[in-house]
A = this chain, B = another copy of it.
Amino acid sequence: MSGDVQKLNANNCGFYVGLIHYPVVNRRAELVTSSVTNLDIHDIARASRTFGVKGYFIVHPSEDQQALNRRIIKHWGGDFAMRANPTRKDALNLVQLVYSIEEALSVIESQEAKPFIIGTSAKPSDKTPEIEIPALKAKLKERPVVLLFGTAYGLAPEWTDRLDAFLPPIHGPTDFNHLSVRSAATIYLDRIFGR
């Protein structure tokens, strides 16, 4: 971990991001496993590195899909890629490949403490309380925080009901709220940690 992130974290517990491919729902609200998207790896790793995230978990239950993730990440640490793009490895070093949300949580717990678990959703949830960004930052003084992003049409209900809190959805001045998960993750990180 580079010096600036260490300094950033000196007075705070770690902030983590998780990109969830299972359990998520499709547009008919059916439980599905989504496929890995190459640019989700890159864009969220680069934003995570920019905004001081301590770890970026890619959650996928399939060994085939995780092998693809490993191959992509390994490519950007190779000689050719390091000459062409020396900063990418630095961002991708944040990625941790895990097979379930539970595994991501236990990695954080083993490194620091049991994390406070936050979700995001284009549609607000009834069951889970909303948390505003100042309260989220205060929480980081006490314990690690992990922010989960569901791919496809979002986290499945079995998990939205287990979250500690939701961040409010992102709105612009229009009624359209169909950002990519890459865009949404980037905006949340900027809103929390951007200068």
Binding site for B on A (CB under 8 A): 2, 4-5, 8, 27, 39, 42-43, 46-47, 49-52, 84-85, 87-88, 90-91, 170-180, 182-183, 186-187, 189-191, 193-195
Contacts and interface: CB of A to CB of B under 8 A. Distances in A.
Contacts of A175: 2, 4
B186 A172 contact: no
Contacts of A193: 172-173
A174 B46 contact: no
A186 B189 contact: no
| Copies, count | 2
A174 B43 contact: no
Contacts of A51: 172-174
Contacts of A87: 176, 178
29 contacts: A2-B175, A4-B173, A4-B174, A8-B173, A27-B85, A39-B182, A42-B180, A43-B180, A43-B182, A46-B178, A46-B180, A49-B178, A50-B170, A50-B171, A50-B172, A50-B174, A50-B179, A51-B172, A52-B172, A87-B176, A87-B178, A90-B176, A171-B194, A182-B183, A183-B183, A183-B186, A187-B194, A190-B190, A190-B191
